[in-house]
Amino acid sequence: MYQEFAYVYDALMEDVPYEEWCELITQFMDRYGVTKPERGAEDPLEAERNLVVDLGCGTGTFTRMLYRKGYDMIGVDNSQEMLSVALQRKEESGDDILYLHQDMRSLELYSTVGTVISVCDSLNYILEEEELLTVFKLVRNYLYPGGLFIFDFNTVYKYETLIGEATIAENRDDVSFIWENYYSPENGINEYDLTLFIREEEDLYRRVTETHFQRGYTLEQMLNLLDQAELTVVKTMDGDTFEEPGKKSGRIFIVLREESLKKGQV
């Protein structure tokens, strides 16, 4: 996954509302979390508390946004190609962000962290419930007491009704693509067959194909797994309206807390 696509990913995802998501997530961090946008804490525990992990960070677009708001950032991704882009941007900007090449199913951090985030349906790439439960348990294990876990996911409704069996095509100056979706209701898996035409010279394009798989989850499935992982739900939201999610929600955000704080301590 995310091989050649990684190098044109940002161009094709320019309509993703990262700025809106960033404002939303920082509001939740300020309201419910323990992480503060302060760097250079002398107390090691304070330094851990102020760390934010971007799980499935991709090319680091969202990671950089939070870094520029003052947060100490760690980006984790399983695609070496996506991280290559993130590291190139880091070198160009001088941003002090740590990037780790890891599969989230075997997450290994050097300390606890105050906040873990995962946006743009990264968790939908986990195709088995048991493996997703493993991810949730690992996140809980690395959360500082009272720390937050905030993520989004695409629902079964989105794959089944909104994009299943749909073909999306766009023609741009430097890259064009054909994105074909095939949804299987038997196992809840959506297959993306992606064909890219990447401009090499003025009249020369290189054709690249990739296949991606994501699984749709219901809110009930997610809440059950999170309960097993002993993470406490703070809020659930429709990813478009930011209101309570419903049966026709295509993307859902969930805000959770690691509950080792004493009762009444917020």
Is there a single domain that holds both residue 45 and residue 117?
yes
Are 36 and 144 in a shared domain?
yes
157 touches 249 (CB < 8 A): yes
Neighbours of 224 (CB within 10 A): 14
pLDDT at residue 203 in the model: 78
Q: Number of structural domains, the chain?
A: 2
CA torsion, ordered 40, 44, 49, 55, to nearest 10 deg: 80
Residue 262 DSSP symbol: P
Q: Is residue 263 part of a domain?
A: no
pLDDT of residue 262: 43
- Domain residue limits at 240: 4-156+216-257
Asked if residue 180 and residue 77 are part of one domain, the reply reads no
Q: How many CA atoms lie within 13 A of 168 on its CB side?
A: 10
64 and 174 in a single domain? The answer is no
Query: Do 93 and 48 reside in the same domain of the chain?
Result: yes
Residue 98's CATH number: 3.40.50.150
Ramachandran region, residue 209 (left: φ > 0; alpha: ψ -120 to 50; beta: rest)? beta
10-residue mean pLDDT profile of the chain (266 residues): values are 63 84 96 83 80 95 95 95 92 95 96 96 96 98 96 96 87 83 93 86 83 95 97 97 96 94 44
CB-based contacts of 73, cutoff 8 Å, min separation 6: 51, 52, 53, 54, 63, 64, 66, 67, 97, 98
The candidate with the shortest Cα–Cα distance to 22, out of 103, 128, 135, 115, is 115
In terms of domains, do 106 and 32 share one?
yes
Question: Which pLDDT value is given to residue 40?
Answer: 58
Does 224 map to a domain? yes
Q: Is 201 helix (H, G, I), strand (E, B) or coil?
A: strand
What is the predicted pLDDT for the residue at 160? 93
Please state, in angstroms and rounded to a whole number, the distance separating the CA atoms of residues 128 and 153: 14
235 in the same domain as 140? yes
Q: What is the pLDDT of residue 4?
A: 61
Residues 174, 146 share a domain: no
pLDDT at 1: 58
131 lies in the same domain as 206: no
Report the pLDDT value the prediction gives residue 39, as an integer from 0 to 100.
60
Q: In this predicted structure, what is the pLDDT of residue 194?
A: 86
* 172: CATH: 2.20.25.110
Task: Round to the nearest angstrom and report the end-to-end CA distance of the chain.
Answer: 40
67 and 186 inside one domain: no
